[in-house]
Amino acid sequence: MARPREFDEAAALDAAVDHFWLHGYQSTSVRELAAAMGITGASLYNAFGDKRALFKMALARYIATGIEGRVIREHQSTVRAIEAFFKEIVNYSIKDKNRKGCLLVNSALELGDDDVELKGVVSDVFVEIEDFFRRAIARGQEQGEVSTGLPATDLARLLLGALLGIRVLARVRPNRALLEGIARSAILVLR
């Protein structure tokens, strides 16, 4: 019979998310991860598998605790909801004193073509965000709140680009006026 784990797996995974977020995937060693998680290397391998498997779990945890929590409510005006979403992103980006940025964006920039599967995980999330925007915009267009001058898909891609741009720029130019200007301009196109 296997011994029960003597550590909190959720807390250890959260620590791994923070470590990957701050240091990146490629720069992080298993030894550093284990230390950050407060466990031994053997416990890390037994509970989470190798570094790559742990990184996939960390990405899933980041998505579940961050992105999925930001939803546009059905009863809310589409434009006001998107404005609130971008306001939250700008505020979060400005408050990020460590300038960590977004784990997904950082991973996309770091991984490049080195790992097709991990790159696919990140890309799939970006597709989900784009689709989320597209559905909201299409609903707004049907309700006459969002301009029909451009297809919902094009507008969604514009919002995705603005979102990713804000998260990247916030790392090197955490200027509220700059970031709010990007968000405001992207939202203006919806009207």
- For the chain, the structural domain boundaries read 9-63, 72-188
CB atoms < 10 A from the CB of 165, how many? 15
User: According to the model, what pLDDT value does residue 94 have?
Assistant: 94
Neighbours of 79 (CB within 10 A): 17
First to last CA, the chain: 63
CATH architecture, range 9-63: Orthogonal Bundle (1.10)
Amino acid of residue 139: R
Residue type, 177: A
Structure tokens at 83: 């404005």
pLDDT surpasses 80 at 173: yes
- Of the chain, the percentage scoring pLDDT greater than 90 comes to 68
Give CATH for domain 72-188: 1.10.357.10
What is the token pair recorded at 168?
A: 């990247």
Using DSSP's 3-state secondary structure scheme, residue 109 falls into helix
Evaluate if residue 113 carries a pLDDT over 90: no
Question: Mean pLDDT, to the nearest integer, of 42-68?
Answer: 87
125 half-sphere exposure, CB direction, 13 A CA radius? 22
The pairs formed by 26-29 with CB atoms below 8 angstroms and a separation of 24 or more are 26/110, 26/114
What distance in Å separates the CA atoms of residue 62 and residue 41, rounded to the nearest whole number? 22
Question: In the prediction, which pLDDT does 68 show?
Answer: 47
Whole-model pTM: value is 0.83
